[in-house]
Amino acid sequence: MKKLLQSLFILLFVASSAMAQERTITGTVTGKGDGLPLPGVSVKIKGTSSGTTTGADGKFTIRVASSASTIEFSSIGYVSQSIAIGGRNSISVSLVSDAQSLTDVVVVGYGTASKKDVIGSVAKVTGESLQNIPAPSFDRALAGKATGVQVITPSGLLGQAPQVRIRGINSITSGASPLYVVDGIPVISGDVGGFTSVNALADINSNDIESIEILKDGAATAIYGSRAANGVVLITTKRGKSGTQFNYDGWTAIANISSRFDLLNADEFVTIANERFTNAGQTPQAKPTPDGSGGFVDTDWQDAVFQQSVQQSHSVSASGGTDKTKYFMSLGFTDQKGAIVSNSLRKYSFRANLDQKITNFLTFGITSGVTYQKNLGPLAGSNNLSGNIFAATRMLPNVPIYSTTDITGYNISADRRSLGPGANLSPISDNIPNIRFVLDNNVRQSQTIRLIGSTYLEAKIMDGLKFKTQLGIDGSYIEDFVYTDPRHGDGFSSNGSMSQAYSPFFRWNWQNILSYTKSINGEHNIDVTLVSELQKQRSSFFQANVSNLLNIYFNQNITSGTFITPTISGGLTLNGIESYLGRLNYNYKNKYYITGSIRRDALSSLPMGNRVGYFPGVGIQYRINQEEFFKNAEGLSFISDLRLKASFAEVGNTDIGSFPYFGTYGAALYGNQGGIGFNNTGNPLLKWESQKKYDVGLDVGVLSNRVNLSVSYWKQDTKDLILAAPTAPVLGVPGNSISRNVGSMTNKGWEFSVNADVLPAGKVKWNTTLNFSVQSNKVTGLVDGNDIVGDYNLTRVGESIRTLYGYQYAGVNAANGNPLYVKADGSLVQGRISNTTYYKYDPANPNYFFNAAQPVSATNPDNRSSLTANDKVILGNSLPKWFGGFNNTVTYGDFDLNVFLRFQGGNYIMNRTRQDLLSNNFVNNSVEVLGRWQSVENPGDGQMPRLWAARGAFINLDNNAVSRFVEKGDFLRMDNLALGYSLPSSILSKGSIRKVRVYASAQNLFVITGYKGLDPETNTSGAGVDFNGNPQLRTFTFGLNLGF
Amino acid sequence: MKLKYYIISSALVLSFSSCKKELEKLPQQDIAEEVAFNSPSTALGALRGVYSTAQTFDFYGSLPQVIGDYMGNNVDFVGTFPTLQELNNFSTVSTNVNVATMWQVHYQVITRANNVIAKINIVDGLSAGEKAQYAAEAKFLRALAYFQLANFFAQPFQVSSGSNLAVPLVLEPFDGTVKYPSRSTLNQVHAQVIQDLNEAIPALPQSYTDAAETRGRATKGAAYALLSRLYLYREEWAKAESAARSTLAQGIYDTAPNYAFYSGNTSEDVFTIQNSAIDNGRTGSGGWASYYNPAALGGRGDAPFSEDLINAYTSEAGDKRYDLKISGTAADGLPHLFTSKFPDAVNNSDNSPVIRTTEVYLNLAEALAHQSTTPSVEAVTILNDRIRSRAGLLPKTVTTQQALIDALLIERRKELAFEGHSRMDLLRNRQALRTGNAAAAFGGTKTILPIPQREIDNNPGLQGQQNSGY
């Protein structure tokens, strides 16, 4: 297109040259900041329509009539300049970056706004800061980037979706994740995999992201009404700009897990295992297994489940534009092999964004992204016999992984149910399979095709009045597959099985946006937006399961005639939302601002009487530095920006399930006849969870905004939380409960951020950003005030949600090795391991136990006691109280250095993995077990009780939180350290290359923490519980950025 | 410029015209309550849904029946589940999860039946006869549920003539109002069962066109048979006799010639819950075949023959019912004998036997025996010609009423072992569930189950109504 235009111009010049006295002017346009040539700058002769644009090298040639006096240079993102020609034949210009116009545009709901006019609390993360990082999805890279936004990646599994929480956890039973909107289309997020984790947001190529805006407070989110309670994340992809650009961004990374378990070696295992049997009065069962070459087998089973892996990513993009047509196109390829065996992610993504001016009042555009993702992963369940961590940490270290005598080549027991016992007299407990066999032979896979796209037509009706209609789709087609091998492991009892599921999801969204902007005398600035939005979605699945496989060769897809027993299942859900909304922004002389919005949402998933809701939001802003008195005050001139903001909104959370209000009948088979059965009790009064958001903030900019400070205080009161109110079972109500809007909670916090150009110019430049958030959560209402008690957590009125709750440990009774616990009344009991009974503990007489065979007497007092659920106490808050990020970018000449630290703390973690690693079954342990009590003379570390075969659950109170295993979760992580080198422009300008940068970086280089588990961010079952989670990765990356 | 306004105004009109239809979504996964009773097919579906609930593990999917056999003296429970061990040791507590689930599922069957009974009359398109029949089938299942509940949660009739508390009677569908019903007495619960069955009988068919339905859905014969069992439990011998005769008079029941009838839907079956490979009461932790088969055959090996039952079979050589066994390693790691009545531990398609023709004959014989001070000739004929000869045993000569009754009870035990009858057959005869265990004595507080703690906590109507001993 550009070529065409250029030729047209040339033709035009040729045609006109005969008519007037002309001459040729040449020159170069560069950027003022970096001195690099600027391509695509419009060069125009003032007062005429003739002109040209600069080439990739910034050079231009233009023929001008003798009458021409001035040339205008303009480009998006730069301040336009007019230069008088005079008598010159050569003109070179440096354009000043219009930082205000470029970086200070903020995407808000259903539109954009200039940063100075944004009243709501909106955190902006540039796409640039998410790139060049080998994260499997962009959402992981948001961690630590903005205040109030907590991103926890629970493990190093590549497909795992991080938990993103904006301003706390605002629901007990419903969704707590924000609403994600990609280029105006609300999209699905979260884990969408059936048998292995698949992050739906990994479908977006991070290299395609222009910016991410995180809407936090009422003024910013109210426009999203019933879906705004958990905050909103707006993702904007790149669009074409004037001037042709071609970019290549690629990296290769080497990943390893960042820490390993400290497990017993073969000798230690034999000692510990046999001590357990001996203490229990049983024959020792553990024996060293000869390795065939004179020594004994000593296997580190972690080598069987963790590996060093190589990952790579390549992304190419081309963009360009004229004043009529703008395009951005990209292709991305990522191939990541996991540092966790059998985990991998392969991704192809394609994007084409186009904007076309049709007439002077109509613009048409397309946004389209297509991604294919293939995820493979191990079974990672905390408590699955073939869960990779569960099994790997239990595998006996004195037996080998492989065996030449077994038909499979793996070390498998004779009955094929468990790991081969080697020289041990007993097989491993619980029939745990050889984990390496499982990882090598079972397949858990998910393939996704995702389409996110939209088209729009925008019409300028008159000055300031625009109408835009946009039709978007989000389609996700997921095929899940699992195969379990019949020879060993999970597939053994069913003689092999396969399940294959197809889960299509399709959503369409139609928005019509009418906007009007008007400034009266520059004093009264008005901005009105009216929107109608309609959304419908259909999600369904069907799944085929087969077992009794006839041939292990057919393990990639269910294949006809290769199995005996098939079963099929499926389901369908439809949903619709109809909304109307309006927003009014007004400011007087850019000084006093007020914004108000209201949204009306109607949801199909709610009962007729309650499905319509109105969600209002208001915000005010006072820019004090715009006041005359402030401008005139000499002493205050160092303050370049000063404003106070406040906002309030009432929003909702509709992530409450599909039809929670309906009394429904589900399918119920009887023999071979299809029937239906009452399976959900309706509550015709059910409505969404509703929330009031309050926010006040202060923004300060000093020294021409070289340093920006921001402080805000927020509070969110959520009520009508949906909880299952129990009913008496005799009523036969399915699930014995009715969903009711009965709960409430409050989240509140402070957010601080500082951004400073410590060294803004010169050879050394240094920019630093620190963000810090403090949060707290308090449950204020539950069903009849009753606690919700889980295995490790408790939700109680007056406490933070899912607080850790369990028994208080008081160490080991040095006289006999029994564990001591604190009862609710403060007294101590000892758990007598030999008969699994609790007795009152008397330090003066630590070895006294009531003899039940004798009558109670003065010499035989009954000191039996108990340890029950009533003795459980709160052991610590599971939610972090503070977190943040500290980012530093230093450039020295052509070198750039990024140091990004992330920190979090104030929370406690139940290290369930540690408890699990002290099992008293015939399985391996962590080295912590070596501190066990052996005798009065050799009492160990005082924390680890006496060993006793198969009594682990009594000794360690497995499946309960115990203070002994509850640890602080504070940490400081070196999230990213990157060093880059860019070839100087003096070299580049010789070729037509714009940019060459090479870099090396390290992610998760180290973590400083007191936490004894693998990583303080590991989070498995429920809040604050680390139960056999997979480790995090440490990655070294080498990359290249190339620009033409 | 005109064009511009046409485009814009038409887009505006389009966009703001409401699309009401999109919001009128009904769940597709499930059928909304209002839809469930608005057509004959969905109404029939709702009725099948009650049968489907009856298949559940905790109703007739084996758990109550297995418990009925091991709390009695036919089965030795050697499994590892602590909550099931508690029941085996007569040391159950009120928080026992299995007990709570059993209670809850029985009331789910009842609620689903209540829904059909209350709402069937509003269904358009069903004939009056069909409406009456569907309601009758639901009443039969409700009667079955209350009868089994009363057996587990109340002391038997023999302890205090039925004046003791049994379970709460809930007879209306749940309408959203939370109520707190208290326990009714055993006599009241039995009266309700009798009323439901008597109301059902006129509307129930004698048979269906399909054999699986004749044996797997409620029939006149099945309702009479359940009545005969109830009257036997209440020692109302004449009524038990008459009910049993009414079943046999239907003309479609006969004792099978040999023991190959299990899961066969033959004339031996009066009412049998129909299971299949894809639809059965098995759960992750158990099921008929799972409990009653050794690990080598794919079961858990939890519930082998008790020593007492082996002695009962071997006291007379050649009993063919003793051939219905397999040997294998049980959950305790020791060799044991297991029943072969439920062989499909792979797909769990074995049907759940509820009432068999043999039981009806035994009910009849026992009722007759109790009504005659000299041995009833008809009862002796049943004993020898129907029961013992099929088992390959010689005719037995009985000289006294008590000897006849005793002989019938022995045959009843050997005939119906592993089908859930042991515990109640012992208790109604005032016998201890186990010898040498004081807790298992007739009337012992832990021979019956506790009202689940969850129920007591959530139902003020049950305050102070817990069974004694819990």
Q: How far apart are CA A62 and CA A28, in angstroms?
A: 11
Using the CB atoms, write b or e for A641-657: b if 16+ within 10 Å.
bbbebbbbbbbbbbbbe
The pLDDT assigned to A761 comes to 81
Residue in A417, A676, A836 to test binding to B, most B beta-carbons within 10 Å: A676
Q: How far apart are CA A549 and CA A532, in angstroms?
A: 54
Q: How far apart are CA A966 and CA A875, in angstroms?
A: 7
State the average pLDDT over residues B437-458.
90
Q: How far apart are CA A99 and CA A314, in angstroms?
A: 30
Q: How close is the nearest chain B Cα to the Cα of A659, in Å?
A: 7
Hey, what are A309's tokens? 């892996």
Q: How far apart are CA A143 and CA A977, in angstroms?
A: 15
The pLDDT assigned to B370 comes to 96
Beta strand B165-168 with A873-876 is unpaired
Check if the beta carbon of residue A213 is closer than 8 Å to that of residue A123: yes
Q: Where are the extended beta strands (E) located within A305-462?
A: 309-321, 325-337, 344-357, 362-376, 443-462
In degrees, rounded to 5, the angle at the alpha carbon of residue B45 between the alpha carbons of residues B43 and B48 is 115
Tell me whether 0.85 is exceeded by the ipTM.
Answer: no
Q: How far apart are CA B214 and CA B266, in angstroms?
A: 9
Hey, what are B173's tokens? 């569908």
- In angstroms, how far is CA A563 from the centroid of its own chain? 39
Using the CB atoms, write b or e for A542-568: b if 16+ within 10 Å.
ebbbbbbbeeeebbeebeeebbebeee
**Eight-state DSSP code of residue A291:** -
pLDDT, mean over chain B? 90
Burial of A810 (0-12, 13-18, 19+ CB in 10 A): middle
Q: How many C-beta atoms lie closer than 10 Å to residue B259's C-beta?
A: 16
The pLDDT assigned to A11 comes to 41
Helix, strand, coil in percent for chain B, rounding step 5:
50, 5, 40
Which three-class secondary structure state does DSSP give residue A456? strand
CB contact under 8 A, A662 and B347: no
Q: Please name the helix (run of DSSP H) or strand (run of DSSP E) that holds residue A781, with its range, or none.
A: strand A764-781
Can you tell me which residue has the tokens 């116009």?
Answer: A101
Q: Does A493 touch chain B (CB under 8 A)?
A: yes
Q: How far apart are CA B380 and CA B400, in angstroms?
A: 11
Q: How close is the nearest chain A Cα to the Cα of B266, in Å?
A: 16
Largest CA distance in chain B: 115
CB contact under 8 A, B7 and A459: yes
The pLDDT assigned to B319 comes to 94
The pLDDT assigned to B14 comes to 53
Check if the beta carbon of residue A60 is closer than 8 Å to that of residue A95: no
Check if the beta carbon of residue A624 is closer than 8 Å to that of residue A642: yes
CB contact under 8 A, A666 and B30: yes
User: Following DSSP, what letter does each residue of A192-236 receive, concatenated?
Assistant: --SSS--BGGGGS-GGGEEEEEEE-SHHHHGGGGGG-TT-EEEEE
The pLDDT assigned to B11 comes to 55
Nearest CA in chain A to B351: A671
Check if the beta carbon of residue A308 is closer than 8 Å to that of residue A256: yes
A272 closest CA partner among A150, A398, A399: A398
State the average pLDDT over residues B189-216.
95
* pTM, two decimal places: 0.79
Amino acid at A926: S
CB contact under 8 A, A729 and B176: no
Which residues, including other chains, have CB under 8 Å from residue A246's CB and lie 6 or more apart? A316, A317, A318, A1043, A1044
Q: How far apart are CA B34 and CA B59, in angstroms?
A: 27
Q: How far apart are CA A84 and CA A91, in angstroms?
A: 10
The pLDDT assigned to A880 comes to 92
A712 closest CA partner among A644, A778, A622, A619: A644
Q: How many C-beta atoms lie closer than 10 Å to residue A979's C-beta?
A: 15
A779 closest CA partner among A760, A759, A793, A761: A793
CB contact under 8 A, A675 and B279: no
What are the 10-residue block averages of pLDDT along chain A, 1044 residues in total? Answer: 44 42 82 73 80 82 81 77 81 71 73 85 88 86 90 88 90 88 92 88 91 92 91 93 88 94 96 95 94 93 94 94 90 94 94 92 94 93 88 95 94 92 92 94 95 94 91 95 92 88 94 92 90 92 88 86 82 87 92 93 80 92 89 84 93 75 69 70 79 94 89 94 81 77 93 92 90 95 86 91 94 96 95 93 93 88 90 94 95 93 95 94 95 95 94 90 95 94 82 87 94 89 83 94 90
Q: How far apart are CA B384 and CA B374, in angstroms?
A: 17
Residue in A730, A733, A783 to test binding to B, most B beta-carbons within 10 Å: A730
In chain B, % of residues over pLDDT 70: 92
The pLDDT assigned to B29 comes to 54
Amino acid at A113: A
Nearest CA in chain B to A569: B278
> How does pLDDT run across B336-386, given as a tens digit for each residue?
999 999 998 888 889 999 999 999 999 999 999 999 999 999 999 999 999
User: Following DSSP, what letter does each residue of A111-150 receive, concatenated?
Assistant: EEEEGGG--S-EEEEEGGGGTTS--SSGGGGGTTSSTTEE
Beta strand A803-812 with A961-962 is parallel
- List chain A residues with CB under 8 Å of B107: 729-732
Q: Does A866 touch chain B (CB under 8 A)?
A: no
- How many angstroms separate the Cα of A735 from the Cα of each of A272, A665, A678? 45, 13, 11
> How does pLDDT run across B150-201, given as a tens digit for each residue?
999 999 999 999 999 999 999 988 776 778 899 999 999 999 999 999 999 9
Helix then strand count (H, E) for chain B reads 19, 7
Q: How far apart are CA A491 and CA B152, in angstroms?
A: 38
Give bridge partners of residue A612 from the DSSP assignment.
A602
Say if residue B241's pLDDT is above 80.
yes
> How does pLDDT run across B277-293, given as a tens digit for each residue?
878 888 766 889 999 99
Give bridge partners of residue A450 from the DSSP assignment.
A371, A476
Nearest to B32 among A469, A604, A662 (CB): A662
**Eight-state DSSP code of residue A426:** S
Say if residue B235's pLDDT is above 90.
yes
Hey, what are A214's tokens? 């995180």
Which residues, including other chains, have CB under 8 Å from residue A153's CB and lie 6 or more apart? A140, A143, A160, A162, A1017, A1032
Q: Please name the helix (run of DSSP H) or strand (run of DSSP E) that holds residue B146, with its range, or none.
A: helix B128-153
Q: How far apart are CA A44 and CA A70, in angstroms?
A: 9
Which residues, including other chains, have CB under 8 Å from residue A173's CB and lie 6 or more apart? A721, A722, A723, A724
Burial of A15 (0-12, 13-18, 19+ CB in 10 A): exposed
CB contact under 8 A, A675 and B49: yes
A120 closest CA partner among A104, A108, A102: A108
Q: Please name the helix (run of DSSP H) or strand (run of DSSP E) that holds residue A651, with its range, or none.
A: strand A639-653
Can you tell me which residue has the tokens 């949060």?
Answer: A775
Residue in B21, B48, B265 to test binding to A, most A beta-carbons within 10 Å: B48
Residues in chain B: 470
- List chain B residues with CB under 8 Å of A679: 30
- How many angstroms separate the Cα of A583 from the Cα of each of A367, A468, A558, A896? 25, 15, 53, 43
Residue in B28, B30, B60 to test binding to A, most A beta-carbons within 10 Å: B30
Nearest CA in chain A to B5: A461
